[in-house]
């Protein structure tokens, strides 16, 4: 069965990302077309990229790099839950993306963002990064406004229409993850 990781892209104290990711997960696990798992970057404390070689070669020495690479490799697709910081994504999420290369390839990505402008600019940047990592990003996304989808900027209370946005994004990321599966299979060069 297709397996989708829901990555919480913020690690700061008082973050809204955990509540947003829980909301995504609670909706996602009602589906029967894929398995979903929450992946909290707090559980993978990655220093700024500190490996000697390129992540494209997937040869890592540090335990934290090996653990993160193995976790990313488990999934067929991803839902990135991202805040918007200074018109971009969080540094911790960008760093986590930079640690791995091959394990992102030929997988689908959907985005659920939040911020003053719904996190739209963070997603714009993430789409560029995902493209370089050979990920297929789906069109539908959820953009949660701190002004209208949170009470007092801190308690998640999404407008009802956001559920249909989330369902559309989940539909696409599951379908695209399954469609890309043949590209993730090893190629038999002897054949």
Rounded to an integer, what distance in angstroms lies between the CA atom of residue 29 and that of residue 17? 18
Give the tokens for residue 130.
């995902």
* Cα 81 off chain centre by: 6
The confidence score (pLDDT) of residue 58 equals: 65
If 0-12 CB within 10 Å is exposed, 13-18 middle and 19+ buried, where does residue 189 land?
exposed
For the question of whether the overall pTM of this predicted structure is more than 0.85, the answer is yes
Domains and CATH numbers, the chain: 3-182 (3.40.50.360)
The DSSP code for 85 is B
The residue behind tokens 């789409």 is: 127
The confidence score (pLDDT) of residue 188 equals: 57
Q: What is the pLDDT along the chain (191 residues), one digit of tens a residue?
A: 999 999 999 999 999 999 999 999 999 999 999 999 999 999 999 988 877 777 776 667 788 888 999 999 999 999 999 999 999 999 999 999 999 999 999 999 999 999 999 999 999 999 999 999 999 999 999 999 999 999 999 999 999 999 999 999 999 999 999 999 999 987 555 65
- 111 neighbors 145 (Cβ within 8 angstroms): no
The confidence score (pLDDT) of residue 47 equals: 87
The residue behind tokens 């909706």 is: 27
The confidence score (pLDDT) of residue 187 equals: 58
The confidence score (pLDDT) of residue 189 equals: 54
């Amino acid at each position: 069965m297709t397996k989708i990781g829901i990555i919480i892209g913020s690690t700061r104290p008082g973050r809204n990302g955990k509540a947003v990711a829980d909301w995504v997960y609670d909706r996602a696990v009602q589906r029967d077309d894929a398995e979903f798992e929450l992946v909290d970057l707090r559980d993978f404390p990655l220093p700024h990229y500190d490996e000697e070689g390129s992540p494209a070669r997937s040869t890592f020495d540090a335990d934290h790099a090996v653990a993160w690479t193995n976790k990313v490799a488990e999934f067929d697709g991803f839902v990135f839950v991202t805040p918007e910081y200074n018109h971009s994504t969080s540094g911790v999420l960008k760093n986590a993306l930079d640690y791995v290369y091959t394990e992102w390839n030929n997988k689908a990505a959907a985005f659920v963002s939040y911020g003053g402008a719904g996190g739209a600019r963070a997603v714009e940047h993430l789409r560029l990064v995902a493209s370089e990592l050979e990920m297929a990003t789906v069109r539908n996304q959820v953009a949660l406004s701190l002004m209208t989808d949170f009470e007092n900027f801190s308690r998640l209370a999404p407008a009802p229409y956001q559920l249909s946005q989330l369902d559309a994004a989940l539909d696409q990321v599951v379908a695209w993850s399954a469609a890309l599966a043949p590209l993730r299979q090893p190629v038999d060069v002897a054949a």
